[in-house]
Structure 1
Amino acid sequence: MNGFEKRSRQIKEKIVKTTIDLLGTTDPNRIRIADIANAAKVSQVTIYNHFESKENLLREAIKQFLEVMIADFETYLNESHSLKEKIEYILFREKQYFKLIPPRVLQELMLSDPEMAGYVERIYLEKSLPMTVRILEEGKQNGEISERVSIENVLALMQLYMNQYETMLRMAGESGDVERFVEEMVHLFFYGICGKE
């Protein structure tokens, strides 16, 4: 890679990172190329040269964001941790990722862009869901999940948690002790309100 290509790649990465930062604080419909250019300290022409449109830039930002998140989870889940540690990690890290780009922003982008919605759906079906099923099956084999509970119902419970993630994040912040809140939610996820059987 020559100097020009390296500099071009660095500028592109800077624009994408700036876009992700803006998505964490600004409604996607209100973000303008001018805002991104100003925050990234590049010209609007530079952004158009690299991405052609705001939609392409948003797609690239979301794609990179999700790829980093999935790679992070895959690395941790492939290490030798208990099921409980893996679920705690997923919940804790998702909290951090969703501070960067809140779920409602991702949903809004998917509703307005069918191409992005298709990409996110593919990532879920090809990466996220199989990875989750794998760790749950490992948990069943290791006796960490009750034989009385199906993988499908564990997935349903996880989906219920994820559907309320923004509410849970807000409640965690209001609790005054985020770590304790997350720890107790993980306990409730695994053992319910009565504790272990």
Structure 2
Amino acid sequence: MNGFERRANQIKEKIKKTTLGMLQASDPKRIRIADISKLANVSQVTIYNYFGSKEALLREVIKDYLDKGTADFEAYMKAGHSLKEKIAYIIFLEKEAYRELPLGVIKELISEDHELTAYIEEQYKNKAIPLTIQMIKEGKESGEISEDVSIENVLVFIQLYMNQYETLLDMAQKSGDLDKFLEGMVHMFFYGVCGKG
């Protein structure tokens, strides 16, 4: 990579980092190229030259954000942790992701961008699901998951948690002790309401 390409990449990363910061604090519809330009200290023309439109910039920022999350998830899943540690990681990862970028922001962007929706579905199908299935198989082999419980059962149970995640986080925040609440949810995931058998 020559000096020009390196500088161009630095400018692009600066624009994307600025945009992500703005998404963390503002409704995507309120974000304007002029505001990004001012905060990133680059011209609006530069932003349009690199990204073409605000929508394309937002799409690339979300893709980068999700790619980083997927890479972190994949690395953790392959690092030799127990099943309980992996499930706790998934739940705490969601908590951290929610703090970094509210779920409502991603939902809003997905609802208006079919390309981003297709990208997320592809990542989920080709990366998240296979990693989760592998985790479940390893849990069954280690005896952490009962042989009476199918892979499909565990996938559905995880999906039920994830479908209600925004509600769970809201309840956790109202509880006054977010970490303790989520640790309780991990415990219930494994042992139900009666405790460990």
TM-score of the alignment, normalized to the shorter chain, above 0.5:
yes
In which range does the TM-score fall when normalised by the shorter chain? over 0.9
Structure 1 stretches (4+) deviating beyond 4 angstroms?
none
Per-residue deviation at 1:55? Answer: 1.2
- Unaligned ranges ≥5, structure 2: none
Partner of 2:95: 95
Matches within 5 A, 1:4-43: 4-43=4-43
Cα drift, residue 24 of structure 1: 1.7
Question: CA shift at 1:94, angstroms?
Answer: 1.8
Structure-2 residue corresponding to 1:147: 147
Alignment partners' CA distance in 2, 1:166 and 1:14? 30
Which amino acid is 2:35 matched to? Answer: D
Counterparts of 1:148 and 1:60 in 2: how far apart (Å)? Answer: 43
Aligned-residue sequence identity (percent) comes to 59
Alignment correspondent of 1:167: 167
Q: Distance in 1 between matches of 2:148 and 2:188?
A: 17
Please state how far the C-alpha of 1:13 moved relative to its aligned partner.
Answer: 0.6
Task: Give the drift of 1:71.
Answer: 0.5
- 2-structure distance, mates of 1:4, 1:135: 44
Name the CA distance, whole Å, in 1 between partners of 2:103 and 2:56. Answer: 20
State the TM-score, normalized to the length of structure 1.
Answer: 0.95
Residue 58 (structure 1) aligns with: 58
Matching residue's letter, 1:190: F
- Match of 2:90, as an amino acid? I
CA distance in 1 between counterparts of 2:52 and 2:161 reads: 38
How far apart are the structure 1 equivalents of 2:70 and 2:143?
26
**1:118 alignment partner AA:** A
Partner-residue secondary structure (3-state), 1:183:
helix
2-structure distance, mates of 1:173, 1:11? 37
SS in 2 for 1:24: helix
Amino acid at match of 2:38: N
Q: TM-score, length-normalised on structure 2?
A: 0.95
* DSSP-derived class of the 1:149 partner: coil
1:69 aligns with 2:76: no
Deviation at 1:182, TM superposition (A): 1.3
| CA contact 1:16–1:61 (8 Å) conserved in 2 | yes
Supply the distance in 2 between the matched residues of 1:86 and 1:71 (Cα, whole angstroms).
15
Aligned residue for 1:115? Answer: 115
The one-character-per-residue Cα deviations of 1:25-67 (angstroms, maximum 9, x if unpaired) are 2121221111221222221111101101111111110110011
Provide the aligned length of Structure 1 versus Structure 2: 197
SS of aligned partner of 2:155? helix
CA distance in 2, matches of 1:44, 1:99: 29
Structure of higher RCO (CA pairs closer than 8 Å, 6+ residues apart): 1
What SS class does the counterpart of residue 185 from structure 2 fall into?
A: helix
Residue in 2 aligned with 1:127? 127
Structural RMSD (CA): 1.2
Tell me, in whole angstroms, the C-alpha distance in 2 between the residues paired with 1:148 and 1:39.
56
